[in-house]
Amino acid sequence: MNGSPPPFHNAIVGRLAARFDAAGWEALTGQALIGETSGGESTADLAVATAEAIEGDPSPLPADRVALVGEVVSSGQDGDYAEKRKWYARSGIPLYLLVDPHDGLIELYSRPENLTYRRVAPYRFGDAVDLPEPFSFSVDTSLFRVYPPEAVRWDRNPEFLRDVRIPPAPDEQKPQTDHMIQHIPHSAPRYTPCPIPPPTLKELQDTDDAGRPLEPFTAREDGVPVHCVGSPLRCCLRDIRPGERIALVSYAPLRRWAAATGAEPGAYCELGPVFIHAGACDGPDADAAGYPFARAGALRTVRRYNTDGQIAGGRFFEIPEDAESGFDAVFDEAFADPEVALVHVRALEYGCFQYEVRRP
Ligand SMILES: [Zn+2]
């Protein structure tokens, strides 16, 4: 990044450093590290080591002498924290604390193995972050502050200044055109799309249904590391927005449903990839109208399951202009069969699960 990070960033680094310092550790800010196993160098916002580990003042500090490394995501730009995480994991640094003041989220990575950390524990600002041995204390994050909104951010870079968008005064606002979305009153859909419920989301954020630890990343328009902006989030049934912290996890919707109902679907259980929020999720927007991801012309399969969790038919369909009536009709058709207990709505091309609808 260019120049000094902003005050909120530095304040968090300072508070973290003070906590480790108070516990008798050496807290090194802006520390250059060198990796013997990983090769190359990296500069960490915070590197924590024992007094013995920095004996002789080695510079850059060998990464294998570091007990914990910390990064605070910078405002205004999104550095490649996935690359840093790989480097820290490959260097064998036992703990990596990633603080994201955009969303007020904290992730503690542990158990480095090859290019990744096998475990991640998510926290929010305000939580006490429990550190394992050799620390065995917690970090109070109640004074961490989230970044203010983009428009009020200040930077000396003139390119950046040109980019700051100031909302027009009310009388300068463009008149509403035919192309803009009209709020047309309509009846509510007849069926309820079920998002991944919050307790399940919490479990998936720890370990997914394939036993994998969460690998969160920031959604970027440029497709790094995964092209995901606009893809469906299954925890809140809306599209992914740029800048959100998300993860791609394996999810077994039928197994989850069966665990709650006592059904035994056996071989019918399937595991598939879904995007979820990597941290806090407010669930579906209370103002959201109609069925989610209901773009006219998109192709869907609606797969039906009976009370035992076995497939009981299905159909594919193209979402019509009047998406709500179209979905109402296919769900009517599905539940007209008294055997059908629930349906899965999936994208036709890849078969990815989008949401389930249960018999009303
Ligand atoms: Zn969500």
Q: What angle do CA 185, 188, 190 make, to 5 degrees?
A: 150
Going from the Cα of 344 to the center of ligand 1, the distance in angstroms, rounded, reads: 19
For residue 240, what are the domain limits? 193-358
Q: Give yes or no: residues 341 and 233 share one domain.
A: yes
| CA 281 / ligand 1 centre spacing (Å) | 4
**Residues 319, 227: one domain?**
yes
Residues 125 and 197 in one domain: no
As a whole number of angstroms, the distance between CA 158 and CA 195 comes to 44
| DSSP per position, 210-239 | TSPBP--EE--TT-SS---TTSEETTTTEE
Distance 175 CA to ligand 1 centre (A): 33
pLDDT tens digits along 321-360: 889 999 999 999 999 999 999 999 999 888 899 999 999 9
Which pLDDT score is estimated for 76?
A: 56
The rounded Å distance from CA 288 to ligand 1 centre is: 14
Q: Ligand 1 centroid vs 215 CA: distance in angstroms?
A: 16
219 CA distance to ligand 1 middle (Å): 13
Q: Which two tokens stand for residue 304?
A: 């039906």
Q: Is 224 part of any domain?
A: yes
DSSP-based three-state secondary structure for 200: helix
Q: How far is the CA of 143 from the centre of ligand 1 (A)?
A: 25
**Cα 207 to middle of ligand 1, angstroms:** 17
How do residues 79-109 score in pLDDT, each as one tens digit? 667 778 889 998 999 999 999 888 788 989 9
> What pLDDT shows up at residue 79?
60
Q: How far apart are CA 236 and CA 61, in angstroms?
A: 44
CA distance 192 to 103: 29
In the chain, the DSSP E strands lie at 26-34, 41-49, 61-62, 68-72, 95-100, 105-113, 116-124, 128-130, 138-140, 193-194, 217-218, 232-233, 238-239, 245-251, 272-277, 299-306, 311-318, 340-347, 353-358
In this prediction, residue 77 carries a pLDDT of 54
Counting the structural domains of the chain, the total is 2
Residue 225 confidence (pLDDT): 75
Q: How far apart are CA 160 and CA 346, in angstroms?
A: 41
Kind of pairing, strands 311-318 and 340-347? unpaired
Do residues 258 and 269 touch, judged by C-beta distance below 8 A?
yes
Instruction: Report the amino acid identity of residue 160.
Output: F
Neighbours of 132 (CB within 10 A): 14
Q: Specify the DSSP class assigned to residue 63.
A: G
Question: Residue 172: pLDDT above 80?
Answer: no
Q: Say which range, 42-46, 114-118, 353-357, has the weakest mean pLDDT.
A: 114-118
What pLDDT is recorded for position 174? Answer: 35
CATH number (domain holding residue 125): 3.90.1570.10
Mean pLDDT over 211-223 rounds to: 87
> Based on the domain organization, do 248 and 319 belong to the same domain?
yes
Distance 241 CA to ligand 1 centre (A): 11
Q: 288 or 301: whose pLDDT is higher?
A: 301
- Write out pLDDT tens, residues 13-22: 999 999 999 9
d(CA 202, ligand 1 centre) in Å: 11
Q: Which of 62-66, 82-86, 183-187, 227-231 has the highest mean pLDDT?
A: 62-66
Ligand 1 centroid to Cα of residue 233, in Å, is 6
Work out the pLDDT band at 221, boundaries 50, 70, 90.
Answer: confident
Q: From the CA of 302, how far away is ligand 1's center (Å)?
A: 23
Distance 274 CA to ligand 1 centre (A): 11
Single residue among 76, 105, 140 that ends a domain in this structure: 140
230: confidence class by pLDDT, cuts 50, 70, 90: confident
Distance CA 26, CA 44 (A): 14
Q: How confident is the model at residue 187 (pLDDT cuts 50, 70, 90)?
A: low
Model pTM?
A: 0.51
336 falls within a domain: yes
Residue 133 shares a structural domain with residue 228: no
Give the type of residue at 128. A
- Please indicate, yes or no, whether residues 128 and 245 belong to a single structural domain of this protein: no
Ligand 1 centroid to Cα of residue 278, in Å, is: 8
Structure tokens at 199: 């307790």
Residues 7-12, mean pLDDT to the nearest whole number? 93
In-domain check, residue 154: no
Domain for residue 156, yes or no?
no
- Residue 267 maps to a domain: yes
The amino acid that residue 326 corresponds to is G
Q: How far is the CA of 244 from the centre of ligand 1 (A)?
A: 10
In a domain? residue 180: no
59 Cα–ligand 1 center, Å:
43
Q: Say how many Å lie between the CA of residue 180 and the centre of ligand 1.
A: 26
3-class state of residue 137 by DSSP: coil
Q: What is the mean pLDDT of the chain?
A: 84
Residue with tokens 């078969």: 351
Ligand 1 center–CA 346 separation, angstroms? 18
Neighbours of 279 (CB within 10 A): 22
C-alpha 1 – ligand 1 centre gap (Å): 30
Average pLDDT on 300-304 reads 94
Lowest mean pLDDT among 16-25, 216-225, 238-247: 216-225
Given 140, 171, 202, the domain boundary residue is 140
pLDDT at 160 over 80: no
Q: Would residue 69 count as lying in a domain?
A: yes
Distance CA 328, CA 338 (A): 17
Q: What are phi and psi of 299, to 5 degrees?
A: -105, 135
Asked whether residue 145 is domain-assigned, the answer is no
CA of 294 to the centre of ligand 1 (A): 18
Cα of 272 vs centre of ligand 1, distance in Å, is 17
Q: With cut-offs at 50, 70 and 90, classify the pLDDT of residue 135.
A: very high
pLDDT of residue 165: 32
Nearest to 206, CA basis, from 104, 285, 299, 109? 109
How far, in Å, is the centroid of ligand 1 from the Cα of 5?
A: 29
